[in-house]
Homo-oligomer: A and B are copies of this chain.
Amino acid sequence: MSLPSKENFSEWFHEIIQTAEIMDIRYPVKGLYVWFPFGFKLRQLVYGKLREIMDREHSEVYFPALIPETELGKESEHIRGFEDEVYWITHGGLSPLDVKLALRPTSETAMYPMFKLWIRNHADLPLRVYQIVNTFRYETKHTRPLIRLREITSFKEAHTAHRNYEEAEEQVKKAIGYYKEFYDFLAIPYMVIRRPDWDKFPGAVYTIAFDTVMPDGRSLQIGTVHHLGDNFAKTFEITYEAVDGNHYFVHQTCYGISERCIASLISMHGDDLGLVLPFEVAPVQIAVIPILYKGKEEKVLDFSNELLEKLKGFRVVFDKGEERPGAKYYKWELKGVPLRFEIGPKEAERREVVVSFRDEKKKFSVPIEEINEQKISQWAEEMRARLRKKAVESIKLKLKFVGELSELSEIVREYVSIMHLCKNRDCGEEIEKHGGKLLGWLEEIPDFLEVSKEGECIVCGGKGSLAVSARSY
């Protein structure tokens, strides 16, 4: 099985998910997929990093997947935002339920009635929890594995409560920092974008999103951070007693990342041969491949074992199967194995190893004595830097600054479009008439964008700042 070229991104993505054994897309319900063992391992490694980051100042919890209609409906904007895509459980066994239950689309309305009970006074604040759970959306649009799902199997959602608006805003900044660290770790470039007021999370004061650019020039939202103000606190009556003895509403934030992080990881770094994975999250980090000639097997195997001894702290496969070396290379390239070590009779003789990296064509020889944990970490770090550089270069090709409104329709068909735009809703809506979706305004200018932060609004000529419009997933 060979993959379609990555030029045909949509086909390539569809194929690699199945062929590299990330997910089985043959489950008999639209929008639902099965995590293969290999994909599941990748998911665990990626989410392990996310947990590590979250655990620094959040506690992991678990709230029920079923939310009674009465709670879900309490915050009116929130329910309006979700009512079209909630799955409703109406029957238990053969009997209709008294109160319909929603399968959580997100957990504000499951958590906040409990926050009301958990928070008594200022000593209980800040409260910071997170969970990694399955959530559900009745998607009527075209579904895609990891990207548009009916069961999001790994939604990491954090929820926090604070004494006032400013402290919640501090948390928003911290959350942005955490997500940057996470995506930098994965070598995935992103834009931090403030969503238009009319496109924020239902119930939020404002929403800041992480968007990346897929190889086909469409944007992908890979994380969101919401300042909720005291909107939900008022609905769910979450108050605390302050030092002054008075009761105040808490101010809240929430922020989430779904398995789209894995979609972006695959799409950003993969190539025509298959996955390309950063060392730290690769289910197989090193493939050791002995080149066996009749009569010289023993020497090669002995030397290989010596090497394997040195690699004990890593996730290694030693592939001494019957296949030709080329077939083995192909197989492990498909799985995105970052490091390959080949050992033939000549190498065993010279006590050398032929080393190659998944993201580079070249091979080179290294004396076995030089291979150790430190060396491998250094290679991993260098590879991450190369992956990020390459990703940035490919993203740059998909971004275009739009100086004139008349050019927008054509540009947005192929590129993520950058322009100066004022905050006026009319101007924002004008942008969307030219195709694409207004993602919002850049919170900060990424290092891969060389444009001036401020300029004249492309629509009205007023004071504008950098905005992004794109066809989005």
**Residues of A bordering B, CB below 8 Å:** 24, 26-29, 32-37, 40-41, 43-44, 59-66, 68, 70-71, 83-94, 101, 103, 110, 113-114, 117-118, 129, 133-134, 136, 138, 140, 150-151, 153
Q: Is the interface of A mostly helix, strand, loop or mixed?
A: mixed
Contact indicator B89/A83 (Cβ below 8 Å): no
Taking the nearest CB of chain B, how far is it from the CB of A151, in angstroms? 5
Contact indicator B114/A27 (Cβ below 8 Å): yes
Contact indicator B88/A62 (Cβ below 8 Å): no
Give the residues in chain B near A84, CB-CB below 8 Å. 93-94
Q: Contacts A87-B92, A90-B90, A93-B86 given; indicate if A113 touches B28 (C-beta within 8 A).
A: yes
Contact indicator B89/A85 (Cβ below 8 Å): no
Give the residues in chain B near A34, CB-CB below 8 Å. 61-64, 114
Q: Which of B40, B61, B65 is the one whose CB lies under 8 Å from A35?
A: B61
Top 5 nearest A-B pairs (CB, nearest first) are A92-B138, A37-B59, A35-B62, A32-B64, A88-B91
Instruction: Kindly state the separation between the CA atoms of A129 and B136 in the bound complex, as whole angstroms.
Output: 24
Contact indicator A66/B32 (Cβ below 8 Å): yes
Give the residues in chain B near A41, CB-CB below 8 Å. 60
Give the residues in chain B near A43, CB-CB below 8 Å. 62
Question: A133: nearest residue on chain B (CB-CB)?
Answer: B134
Contact indicator A83/B91 (Cβ below 8 Å): no
Q: Contacts A59-B37, A114-B24 given; indicate if A150 touches B89 (C-beta within 8 A).
A: no
Q: Contacts A37-B60, A114-B24 given; indicate if A91 touches B101 (C-beta within 8 A).
A: no
Instruction: Kindly state the separation between the CA atoms of A65 and B63 in the bound complex, as whole angstroms.
Output: 16
Instruction: Kindly state the separation between the CA atoms of A70 and B69 in the bound complex, as whole angstroms.
Output: 27
Question: Can you name 30 A-B residue pairings with CB atoms under 8 Å?
Answer: A24-B114, A24-B118, A29-B101, A32-B64, A33-B64, A34-B62, A34-B63, A34-B114, A37-B59, A40-B62, A43-B62, A44-B60, A62-B153, A64-B153, A65-B134, A65-B136, A65-B151, A66-B87, A83-B93, A83-B94, A84-B93, A85-B92, A85-B93, A88-B90, A88-B91, A88-B92, A92-B140, A93-B138, A103-B103, A133-B134
Taking the nearest CB of chain B, how far is it from the CB of A392, in angstroms? 32
Instruction: Kindly state the separation between the CA atoms of A134 and B66 in the bound complex, as whole angstroms.
Output: 11
Question: A64: nearest residue on chain B (CB-CB)?
Answer: B32
